[in-house]
Amino acid sequence: MAVKWKNPKERMQVAVIGGGMAGAELVRLASSRRLDITLIEPKHQVECQALYPDYMGGLVRVEDMTAPLRPFCEKVGAKLVNEKALAIEDHEVVCERTRVPFDVAVVATGAVQNYFGIRGVEHTFSLNTLEETMRAREYAESTYPDRIMVIGSGLTGIETACVLADSMETSIYVIEAMDRLLPVFPAGVSCRVEKALGRKGINVITNARVAEVTRDSIIFHDGSSLDCDMAIWTAGIKRCALSQDLDLPMNRGWIQTDQYLRAAENIFVLGDCAWVEIGGRIATKTGIEAERQASHTARNLHHLARGKPLKPYSILAGADHPLALISTGNGCALGVYGDSCLPVPSRLLHVVKRWIDKSITKRYL
Ligand SMILES: Cc1cc2nc3c(=O)[nH]c(=O)nc-3n(C[C@H](O)[C@H](O)[C@H](O)COP(=O)(O)OP(=O)(O)OC[C@H]3O[C@@H](n4cnc5c(N)ncnc54)[C@H](O)[C@@H]3O)c2cc1C
């Protein structure tokens, strides 16, 4: 269904909530004289999560993963409200101290780590935020643990285990609750990644559901336990506080969008906080999708401002056909495209991945 902006002659007020990969990219691409954009983001910088595992291994610096938001917003002519959004009321975003009026709002608040209510998670480290990643690296460097357990074998868990195996003389374990590594990827990919981990001496434990984490051990549901000196939790994400409180349609805990990436007539939802399901395909929660959804919505905002109909979104990296470059350490990466995966990790793919990841924050400088 096409929605028309009511007065194409006026500047449309757009409030973007969240200045991560989707929100910052939308602001960069949508900025123009037709749109009056306000970015609402409590952090002072845009951050590239994809480089956090490399940061754990001392391979990149904080400057490679971040770009300050204020100069970026000034450059593109957007306003920055350096606060957390608390609610959306009618045509206003309610922030900690400010109220931001809007004609169109864009929710791009990402996701937070999900601990599934497991006891003792305060003893674990997470790589979901820059602060947590810095805390994890500081701990690893200052205590030099003998045994590190990486809980969860998604992309973050695999890349973190590989980078640690390269940079530390320590026993690394990857613990997965399902029966294979990278359970959301095709089985052939899991098999190749498991071989790559085996070559690096990383211990893989599957079918192991963590029940509790203590200061020096991991306890499993079957009552068994493993000693550990450091536990890194990478097993799952969930919606953040704001998206829980919005009166918008939900699907499996995420905000459900339509084919135009809207959850209401004047509210678009992008990136990790969105449940994007179009034509039977489900978008993955990846940087690739966050960026594509942002560029598509930037174009649609311009259509709206000109009184033109919206264009439907088309998913590229779907759960049925993943698209990923997975760092396997030693300067190599595996490429995954649907069911296809290179038989061995390649240096060239790693160069490409590092270039893509580093170029993300450079766009905002
Ligand atoms: C360790 C790690 C490695 C990854 N590696 C890859 C990879 O190699 N390739 C890939 O494609 N993807 C990767 N991803 C996934 C990718 O980083 C995310 O899919 C992407 O960042 C999602 O973008 P987003 O804008 O939805 O969320 P984010 O980038 O997380 O941004 C959300 C923003 O919203 C802000 N926010 C939250 N609540 C509020 C509020 N109430 N008010 C205002 N602002 C708010 C946050 O401060 C944050 O800045 C990785 C993720 C992690 C954690």
pLDDT digits (tens, 9 = 90+) for 282-333: 999 999 999 999 999 999 999 999 999 999 999 999 988 889 999 998 899 9
State how far the alpha carbon of 127 is from the alpha carbons of 114, 131, 232, 243, 357, in Å.
12, 9, 8, 21, 16
Which phi and psi angles does 143 have, rounded to 5°?
A: -105, -15
pLDDT value for 217: 97
How far, in Å, from the CA of 17 to the mean position of ligand 1? Answer: 13
Cβ–Cβ under 8 Å, residues 221 and 211: yes
Mean pLDDT over each residue of the chain, to the nearest integer: 94
Residue 74: in which H helix or E strand, if any? helix 69-76
Low-confidence ranges of the chain (pLDDT < 50): 1-2
Enter the tokens of residue 296. Answer: 């598509």
Which ligand 1 atom is at minimum distance from the Cα of 357?
8
In the chain, what's the furthest Cα-to-Cα distance?
67
Enter the tokens of residue 19. Answer: 């200045």
**Which residue shows structure tokens 């060239």?**
348
How far, in Å, from the CA of 293 to the mean position of ligand 1? Answer: 13
Phi-psi region of 84 (alpha: psi -120 to 50; beta: other; left: phi over 0): beta
Measuring CA to CA, which residue among 280, 360, 273, 364 is closest to residue 315? 280
Which ligand 1 atom is at minimum distance from the Cα of 53?
1
Task: Name the residue with the closest Cα to ligand 1, atom 27.
Answer: 110
Domain range list for the chain:
12-42+83-112+238-305, 115-235
**Which residue shows structure tokens 């211990």?**
203
Task: Name the residue with the closest Cα to ligand 1, atom 5.
Answer: 50
Measuring CA to CA, which residue among 22, 17, 16 is closest to residue 291? 22
**Who's near 217: CB < 8 A, 6+ residues apart?**
225, 226, 227, 228
How far, in Å, from the CA of 272 to the mean position of ligand 1? Answer: 7
State the distance between the two ends of the chain, measured CA to CA, in whole angstroms. Answer: 37
Cβ–Cβ under 8 Å, residues 125 and 52: no
List ligand 1's pocket residues with C-beta within 6 A: 17-23, 40-43, 49-50, 52-53, 84-85, 108-110, 127-128, 155-156, 240, 242, 271-273, 285-288, 290
pLDDT value for 2: 46
pLDDT value for 10: 77
Give pLDDT tens digits for 334-346. Answer: 999 888 787 778 9
How far, in Å, from the CA of 240 to the mean position of ligand 1? Answer: 11
pLDDT value for 8: 58
CA 54 and chain centroid, separation: 15
Please state which CATH number belongs to domain 12-42+83-112+238-305: 3.50.50.60
How far, in Å, from the CA of 225 to the mean position of ligand 1? Answer: 33
Query: Could you check whether 12-42+83-112+238-305 and 115-235 share the same CATH topology?
Result: yes
The topology under which CATH files domain 115-235 is FAD/NAD(P)-binding domain (3.50.50)
Cβ–Cβ under 8 Å, residues 287 and 50: yes
Enter the tokens of residue 194. Answer: 């498991």
Task: Name the residue with the closest Cα to ligand 1, atom 53.
Answer: 128
How far, in Å, from the CA of 6 to the mean position of ligand 1? Answer: 33
